[in-house]
Amino acid sequence: MKIIICPDSFKDALPAPAAAHAIACGIRRLGEEIELVECPLADGGEGSLETLLATTGAERRTASVQDALGRPTTAAWGWQAERRTAFVELAEASGIQALAPAERTALHSTTHGAGELIRAALDAGAERLLLTLGGSATNDGGAGMLMALGARLRDADGHELPPGGAALKHLAELDLSGLDPRLADLHVEAAVDVDNPLLGERGASAVFGPQKGATPDDVTRLDAALTRFSDVAATALGEEHRDLPGAGAAGGMGFAARAFLGAELRPGIELVMEQVGFSGLLADADLVITGEGQLDGQSLAGKTPVGVARAAQARGVPVVVLAGRLAPGWQAAMAEGVTAAFALADGPMALEEALARCAELLADRAESTVRLFIAART
């Protein structure tokens, strides 16, 4: 029997590799001759880099960059020399988890550090870039990234704009003449787990701005500023990208990735599964166990368990989801290839206890799941 173990991270509890290890430990208690393949996954959100490093054998590299508030920090990125491929996670440089709640400001946070990571990849000789966009603290439409890569954004008086999305309302000139010429030969794929456009009631500012410290008035200011940015960009580029599904990802970084880097925006889970050769692993699998912190109706938009289930369904392989919580709408996942789903808690417990016991609970549920699977096959 062959079981593929491919969870995403359990937020605030376990990264994906640790979650996969916990599930494997639970199954090994059975003492059965079972081939276990630990293949942690991610959907482009925070932690995707760690998962890619663990599953592809890419080299971890670091660079000195700015964080989302312009302070010096050290950020990691991944490098596969033989494939000339770089893995850059936006959240490593410009992530919200690095900021205290009181520091989160969607008006002034910047993606400059993400641009510095891309520059480090170019310096290494990257020909291909996989850019993951989850977990950002920013709402600047990728303007900071462009500045780090050589673009100049100026107001009507010819002064360069300060960092942050709010400043874009004063944008008068977008000078791309200094943009790093190596970008022209860089093939970019951007991993997104949302399909929101850049602007409007479903746009970056309205939907994600409040999570990054934006008040209702801030949302209005930011949406107007991104509108100005997209207007000037359309004039400079001769093409429009504001309505592209995924343009609103990471405070508009999806827009910038497509418009200025020529990136293909794709569901993050699909990109990660390609990198780890997930389709090949399914070829002779008997069971797949996946999971993440919460399974709900929104999981169908591109979260790991549903992406896994869709791939496994095409091969006729059953899929069990182990989730920290089964939230409203989780049953919709059954139509996407999920065979069964189980919450981890073994009784009433506070969130703090559930997080602390996550590895233990994962091992217990995995053991019970495989016991039942074996019994059903005999």
- Model confidence at 11, in pLDDT bands (50, 70, 90)? confident
Short-list 289, 377, 351, 378, CA closest to 11:
351
CA distance 280 to 286: 13
- Model confidence at 377, in pLDDT bands (50, 70, 90)? confident
Residues 139 and 67 in one domain: yes
Q: Per the domain annotation, does 275 fall within a domain? A: no
Asked if the model's pLDDT at residue 90 lies above 90, the reply is: yes
The torsion angles phi and psi of 247, rounded to 5 degrees, stand at: -60, -30
**Which tens digit of pLDDT belongs to each residue from 218-251?**
999 999 999 999 999 999 999 999 999 999 999 9
**Which tens digit of pLDDT belongs to each residue from 334-356?**
999 999 999 998 888 888 999 99
Q: Per the domain annotation, does 278 fall within a domain? A: no
**Which tens digit of pLDDT belongs to each residue from 24-66?**
999 999 988 999 999 999 988 888 999 999 889 999 999 999 9
Q: In this structure, what CATH number is given to the domain that contains residue 82?
A: 3.90.1510.10
What pLDDT, on a 0 to 100 scale, did the predictor assign at position 378?
80
Answer whether 205's CB lies under 8 Å from 219's CB.
yes
Q: In this structure, what CATH number is given to the domain that contains residue 346?
A: 3.40.50.10350
Domain boundary among the residues 269, 300, 327 is at: 269
Q: Per the domain annotation, does 147 fall within a domain? A: yes
Residues 232 and 94 in one domain: yes
- In 3-state terms the chain splits into helix, strand, coil percentages (rounded to 5) of 45, 20, 35
* pTM passes above 0.85: yes
> Which domain covers residue 128, as residue numbers?
48-269
Q: Which residue has the tokens 């990802």?
A: 249
Asked if the model's pLDDT at residue 318 lies above 80, the reply is: yes
Q: Per the domain annotation, does 334 fall within a domain? A: yes
**Which tens digit of pLDDT belongs to each residue from 189-212?**
999 878 899 999 999 999 999 999
Residues 123 and 107 in one domain: yes
Q: Per the domain annotation, does 219 fall within a domain? A: yes
The torsion angles phi and psi of 373, rounded to 5 degrees, stand at: -65, -45
Q: Per the domain annotation, does 59 fall within a domain? A: yes
What pLDDT, on a 0 to 100 scale, did the predictor assign at position 177?
96
Q: Per the domain annotation, does 58 fall within a domain? A: yes
Residues 199 and 99 in one domain: yes
